[in-house]
Chains A and B, each alone.
Chain A
């Protein structure tokens, strides 16, 4: 049974939903509802539709839904009132609004505790109030506390490239720490990468040195410039090189020599929505080059042209890279 129901019937069903689902119905009201429901098959259909509709709305986690809708709305409003207003807002310390592209680049973090994040496919660089440069890779969230005796970053998710600043403040040179769920690291005048990968943390150092402190205790291990290591709760282990220049994301590229195709695609998929699947039969092909993250479709086209692979799009959100099929 389908089709158009009379407006009055739809409105009556909605009226009952409001009374019953969002009110304190009396027994008499419930009885009246039952009588209405049984009075006409159209009433039953209208009621079923309204109930199905409410079921859909309840499929999303409410907190997440409300936060998302609210933040989308405020972003639209912000954009509508223009960039000038936005800058004023930032000047007043609206940490929650620090979100639009280039503006963030010029926002010194005056607040003692602030948070910054990127979505999938976004990258961003900020300068903290102590002069530290912080580059966030795709899908990353960081907290910062620069107010105490130590400078502390907390990496909640994703990957950061840190170039520690001179900290020319009032208290002289303070220690610089990064906290992750696997443990903490202390930077010794340096440039380094921290990346969360499941329960482990990858640390790669390009200048200076970093000391790793596993969360559950155990010996402190120093990582020198040019080296990289895995940190997990129980200890540390050397990290196999994957052929990547790990800091290249800060320049908007993936760069490397003889990368496994599977590794390159895994890296690329972090910058895209949806799934990017590498067939095991082509996983070990070797790829070299510089690949621009801003156009990952272009990268896929390049791979399809230069490697014996076929890129199959099931949907915009589901792409498979596999061997060339025989009949093409």
Chain B
């Protein structure tokens, strides 16, 4: 372990021992669930650890503001995921039992969907539609342009924007 990493760990340990209880309470008030608050608090510290481990550790002057900024992002992700899970289950429930994927396949599908959902959040509606039609329905850019009433060049640009966003989330 490098000196920088050791320093980062020490910083996170200090944060944890001073503010973990406060953070968990903060999360519980927002989520209304003790177990979920405990899980998310854990995730917050994992994020902090990842950030601090990257190069030079950030100095943290206002620890609670720092933690709650990260936590707020995770709470939004959490609700977003909840909504997606609910939609997923309702879609599955509406399917005939015989066509529904196996429990293992379901978990995998859901994970990919969560990623797509997060990705789409940052795209404007026309780009989102173009991207989904291209990637999931296999439409060509010409067909997408016709459906959206835009030129071929614009449809190509939309699909490319979606892919670029996808790339950035995954490799940046």
Q: Which residues of A line the B interface, CB within 8 A?
A: 4-5, 10-11, 14-15, 17-19, 21-24, 49-50, 53-54, 56-62, 64-69, 71-72, 75-76, 99, 115, 117-120, 139-141, 156-158, 196, 273-275, 297, 316-317
Contacts and interface: CB of A to CB of B under 8 A. Distances in A.
B113 A316 contact: no
Interface stretch (B7-15, B19-27, B48-56, B87-95): B87-95
A60 B113 contact: yes
Interface residues of B, number: 49
B112 A68 contact: no
B101 A57 contact: no
B137 interface: yes
A309 to B, nearest CB: 19
Contacts of B142: 23-24
Given A49-B171, A54-B135, A156 B87 contact: no
Contacts of A71: 87, 90-91
B148 interface: no
A68 B113 contact: yes
A49 B136 CA distance: 18
Contacts of A59: 108-109, 112
Interface in B110-159: 112-113, 115-117, 120, 132, 134-142, 144, 156, 159
Contacts of A75: 83, 86-87
B93 A69 contact: no
B140 A69 contact: no
B109 A53 contact: no
Contact of A53 (B84, B103, B139, B170): B170
Nearest to B119: A57
A72 B114 CA distance: 11
